[in-house]
Chains A and B, each alone.
Chain A
Amino acid sequence: MTDDLFDRDDEVRAWMRALAAIPVDDGPPPDGQQLWLKAELLKQWDAQRRTVAPIERAEPIQVTIGLVGVVALLATLWEYAPGPNLTLVFATILSLMLIVGVAAITLRQS
């Protein structure tokens, strides 16, 4: 049986050739120049992403440092405040809300 199958190698070869001759496509292939342009655009995009990647990675760190600084400044100013009054409380709450908002936006984007 195995020998018989070995003998059929020519038949397999001819059959594969016939299979390869069956047309696949019903239309012309896409234009090579368009593909080239697309690849060039993608390469530019890749290069841009590589350039921007360190900046994007550092962005949350920058925002965190900024927020910590703002909170520290707020705490320091609060110590020097003459006494609690409505304007000061309102400004503090507003500042804290802004800090939380910025932190939430940054975390969502990263």
Chain B
Amino acid sequence: MDEQAFVSFYAGTVRPLRAYVARTLGDLTQVDDIVQESYLKLLRMAAPPDDPAELRPLLFRIASNLMTDEWRRTRRDSRVADAHGSAPAERPGDMALKLDMIRMFQQLTPQQRQMMWLAYVEGADHREIGAALGLREGSVRVLLHRARRKLASLLQTAASPGRAHD
């Protein structure tokens, strides 16, 4: 990959990657480091794929591995409060709603967050998710189903707080 190709690839992927890392990691202080490290690891690979279509899944796989390393290293819960400073100024009602959404997403496990994001935001299929997270396709199917069910349950609980599900 030459410089121009990288700059073009970077421009097209940096925001989606930042969003993925920020929403699944939960700790915004680490986001930029992990994003930068992901690109650097990609560029320093001995034999990166030539096909640009393979680069994006590979980039997300590197970022997923780095996040897993970070979770293993710190073993701490994600702090949603860090997200306060991230959004631009807007009406308090909108901000509260968005923070509620982020908090709700943080109630999933880190792996569930990664899966849900890759599946619903990145549009990755089971095989691609498995490749990104180091899981078998069959396992992804089951785990993704559980994650979806848990999020649906959380949504239902939020919609009618009197009823607890799952």
Residue A82 at the chain B interface, CB threshold 8 Å: no
Known: A17-B120, A26-B86, A42-B44. A8 touches B155 (CB 8 A): yes
Q: Are B10 and A26 in contact (CB under 8 A)?
A: no
Q: Are B152 and A12 in contact (CB under 8 A)?
A: yes
Known: A18-B101, A19-B23. A12 touches B155 (CB 8 A): yes
Query: How near does chain B come to A82, taking the closest CB pair, in angstroms?
Result: 64
Query: How near does chain B come to A96, taking the closest CB pair, in angstroms?
Result: 47
Q: Are B155 and A15 in contact (CB under 8 A)?
A: yes
Known: A12-B151, A13-B120, A19-B23. A35 touches B88 (CB 8 A): no
- Majority secondary structure of chain A interface residues (helix, strand, loop or mixed): helix
Query: How near does chain B come to A29, taking the closest CB pair, in angstroms?
Result: 4
Q: Are A42 and B40 in contact (CB under 8 A)?
A: yes
Can you name the residue of chain B whose Cβ is closest to the Cβ of A26? B86
Give the bracket for the number of chain A residues in contact with chain B: 20 to 34
Interface size on B, residues (CB 8 A): 40
Q: Are B86 and A15 in contact (CB under 8 A)?
A: no
Q: Are B120 and A24 in contact (CB under 8 A)?
A: no
Q: Are B10 and A32 in contact (CB under 8 A)?
A: yes
Interface residues of A in 50-107 (CB under 8 A from B): none
Interface string of B17-37 (1 = CB under 8 A from A): 011001100001001100110
Interface residues of B in 47-101 (CB under 8 A from A): 85-88, 98, 101
Chain B residues positioned under 8 Å from A33 (CB to CB):
3, 7
Q: Could you list 9 examples of A-B contacts with CB < 8 Å?
A: A5-B148, A19-B101, A20-B120, A24-B15, A24-B18, A25-B18, A29-B35, A32-B6, A35-B6
Residues in B lying within 8 Å of A, measured CB to CB: 3, 6-7, 10-11, 14-15, 18-19, 22-23, 28, 31-32, 35-36, 39-40, 43-44, 85-88, 98, 101-102, 105, 116-117, 120-121, 148-149, 151-153, 155-156, 165
